[in-house]
Amino acid sequence: MENAKTAPSAALIAVDWGTSRLRAMLLDGTGGVIAEAASDAGIATLAPGGHEAAFEALVAAWPPVPAIMAGMVGSRQGWREAAYVPCPAAIGRLGGGMLRFTTSAGRPVAIVPGLMLRTPARDGDVIRGEETQIAGLIDREPGFAGIAVLPGTHSKWATITEGTVSSFQTFMTGEMFELLSRRSFLRHSVAEDGHDLAALPDFTLGVRRTVVDGLPFLAAIFSVRARQLLDGVAPADNLAYLSGLVVGGEIAAARASGLLGHGTALRIVGTRSLGRAYATAFAIADYRPTALDGGALVVEGLAHLARTIGFLDKASPA
Binding site for a second copy (CB under 8 A): 84, 116, 118, 121-126, 153-154, 169-173, 175-176, 179-180, 183-186, 209, 213-219, 221-223, 225-227, 229-231, 249-250, 252-254, 256-257, 259
As measured in angstroms, the least distance from the Cβ of 40 to a second copy is: 20
CA dist 179 → 52, 131, 247 (Å): 35, 26, 14
Sign of CA dihedral 164, 169, 173, 176: positive
Q: Which is nearer to a second copy, 28 or 250 (CB)?
A: 250
Closest distance to a second copy from the beta carbon of 274 (Å): 17
Residue type, position 294, single letter: G
Residue 244 CB neighbours (<10 A): 29
Q: How far is the CB of 198 from a second copy (least distance, A)?
A: 18
Q: How far is the CB of 300 from a second copy (least distance, A)?
A: 27
Q: In this complex, which beta carbon is closest to a second copy, that of residue 183 or of residue 262? A: 183
* Shorter beta-carbon distance to a second copy: residue 62 or 217: 217
Nearer to a second copy, 86 or 142 (CB): 86
Q: What are phi and psi of 316, to 5 degrees?
A: -75, 160
Cβ-contact 150, 270 below 8 angstroms: yes
Q: Give the whole-angstrom CA distance, residue 240 versus residue 220.
A: 14
| Distances from the Cα of 79 to the Cα of 24, 49, 205, 311, angstroms | 15, 7, 45, 20
Measured in whole angstroms, how far is the alpha carbon of residue 318 from the centre of its chain?
Answer: 28
Cα Rg, the chain, nearest whole Å? 21
Q: How far is the CB of 176 from a second copy (least distance, A)?
A: 7
Nearer to a second copy, 145 or 226 (CB): 226
| Least spacing, CB of residue 87 vs a second copy, in Å | 12
Q: How far is the CB of 135 from a second copy (least distance, A)?
A: 22
Q: Which is nearer to a second copy, 281 or 299 (CB)?
A: 281
Query: Cα separation of 277 and 275, whole Å?
Result: 6
**Shorter beta-carbon distance to a second copy: residue 15 or 46:** 46
Angle between helices 272-284 and 201-211 (to 10 degrees): 50
Please state the closest distance from residue 28 (CB atom) to a second copy, in A: 37
Q: Which is nearer to a second copy, 132 or 169 (CB)?
A: 169
Question: Residue 82: how many CB atoms within 10 A of its CB?
Answer: 22
Angle at 292 between CA 287 and CA 295, to 5 degrees: 145
